[in-house]
Chains A and B, each alone.
Chain A
Amino acid sequence: MTAVDQEYLKVIVFQLADKEYAIPVSNVQGIEKLMHITRVPKTREFVKGVINLRGVVTPLIDLRERFGLPVSNNEETTRIIIITLEEMEVGFIVDSANDVIDIPTDAIEPQPEVVGSNEEDFISGVAKLENRLLILLHLDKVLNP
């Protein structure tokens, strides 16, 4: 093993529909269970509303809707991943939060050229780990319309 000089990226892995996605841990503030959401009128479809996150009003984005995936009913496993990016604090609604793992940086490849789904714009790369395929999200693009 050449593990000594290998660099790793620590990520949070979560599930949306049948795929696994990853966000760098450095961007993640926490993972919360679903709580009461206050709808905010006149916002984009995928903005589900705002929650009270320990006194901070935090907007929520439904990642399924953001990626144009079929809407699922919220279930027991549904989680909110709170992320921060450049002073913005936003929660992502995901099907489930699965894992925290280290990805060797050399396992990350640029996104495949043909993906053919809506989320291709939001992908910064893919990582192949044994038999898992993780999709790395481009947070900037997810947050900016």
Chain B
Amino acid sequence: MTQRPSALYALPALAFFTLFAVLPMVLVFGLSFTAWDGLGAPRVTGADNWARLYADDQAHAALGRTLLIMVLSWLVQTPLALLTGVWAAGRQRGRAVLSALFFLPLLLSTAAIALLWQALLDPNFGLTAGVLAPLGDPQLALYTVVLVITWQYVPFHTLLYQGAARAVPPALYEAAVLDGAGRLARFRHITLPQLRHTVISSSVLMLVGSLTTFDTVLILTGGGPGTATRILPLHMYITGFTGFELGYASTIGVLLMVLGAALSLIVLRATGFRAMSSQQEGV
């Protein structure tokens, strides 16, 4: 067995993590039991905020929207990113140029992307003017948000899959070709299993990322029209920094934190990631 690095290596990261992640989380958890408007001292109200969260229809609806965005984003982004990534790992003509084009959205800041799409979808002057007002229609707004998020993040996940697909040993494909496996069979029986861990990592990033999606929606729709795109993090922000109910906003924050942690644990467990088995077993 090889010598493992000492625990001291983790110390700097751990200190920062404690100071800037654990400590604020503890403080927020404490605040969730208070009423605080930002002026003066927080007033302890026991479990009032939690009772309110339990009964708050708006928060429930916001949670529902968050989960919907999460599921839709995953369903749309995963196949797109997987196929594009595997394709981009190959050596076709024009691949480099096209890959660079696909990569463009990742180079823009979120604010720029949201403003860009807002202008593109303007009901009076946008691409769909006079036909559709996707951001002004409560039925369409949430799906439009998913579309924009997809546009923004598929390049990143494509990059992950491209890297992983390039790491698949060519010998596997050569052997399969000798055995007479077609393009589809090679993808199904070699590429896909070899990308298993990448699918998991990418999915965790997508799911947890969707849970905290915020800036795109804030700028693109502000949660509107009405409350059609008011997702949970935005609901927390509006409660905390527009309504100045910082105690209740903290309660929503804790809920988000618990959901995020639970989600990544569930994904890791369900996919057997903890076993950390080698991807190249049997090579």
| Chains A and B form a bound pair | no
Chain A interfacial positions (CB closer than 8 Å to B) = none
